[in-house]
Structure 1
Amino acid sequence: MDARFLGIAELTESPSVAVVVDVMRAFTVAAWAFARGAEKIVLAESLDQALALKARHPHWVAIKDGPPAPGFDAVNSPGLLRSVDLDGRTVVQKTTAGTVGALAVKEASLVLCAAFVVAEATAQLLRTRGCDRVTFVVTGEEGRAEEDLACAQYIAGRAGETGPEAAAFLHRAAASRAAAELAQGVRQGVHPDDVALCLEVDRFPFAMVATTEDTLMVLRPYAAPSPSRPHSDEASPA
Structure 2
Amino acid sequence: MDARFLGIAELVEAPSVAVVVDVMRAFTVASWAFARGADKIVLAGSLDEALALKARHPDWLALKDGPPAPGFDTVNSPGLLRSMDLGGRTVVQKTTAGTVGALAVKEASLVLCAGFVVAEATARVLRTRGCNGVTFVITGEDGQAEEDLACAQYIARRATEARTDAAEFLRRAAASRAAAELAKGVRQGAHPDDVALCLELDRFPFAMVATSEDSLMVLRTCAVPDSTDAAAS
Structure 1 length as normaliser, TM-score?
0.95
Q: In the TM superposition, what is the alpha-carbon distance from 1:228 to its structure 2 partner?
A: 3.5
Q: In the TM superposition, what is the alpha-carbon distance from 1:223 to its structure 2 partner?
A: 2.2
- 2: distance between equivalents of 1:13 and 1:159? 23
Match of 1:218 in 2: 218
Match of 2:159 in 1: 159
Conserved? CA contact 1:61–1:89, under 8 Å:
yes
Structure 2's unaligned 5+ residue stretches are none
Match of 1:138 in 2: 138
C-alpha RMSD of matched pairs (Å): 1.1
Match of 1:185 in 2: 185
What is the aligned-residue identity percentage?
83
- 2: distance between equivalents of 1:89 and 1:219? 13
Map 1:16-165 → 2, pairs under 5 A: 16-161=16-161, 163-165=163-165
Change (3 A) 1:228 1:158: farther
Match of 1:3 in 2: 3
Q: In the TM superposition, what is the alpha-carbon distance from 1:85 to its structure 2 partner?
A: 0.3
Q: Which amino acid in structure 1 is aligned with residue 207 of structure 2?
A: A
- 1: distance between equivalents of 2:73 and 2:227? 36
Structure 1 position 172 matched with structure 2 position 180: no
Q: Spell out structure 1 runs of 4+ moving beyond 3 A.
A: none
Match of 1:235 in 2: none
- 1: distance between equivalents of 2:58 and 2:2? 44
Q: In the TM superposition, what is the alpha-carbon distance from 1:162 to its structure 2 partner?
A: 6.5
Structure 2 length as normaliser, TM-score?
0.97
- 2: distance between equivalents of 1:2 and 1:70? 44
Conserved? CA contact 1:157–1:163, under 8 Å:
no
- 2: distance between equivalents of 1:76 and 1:169? 23
Count of aligned pairs: 230
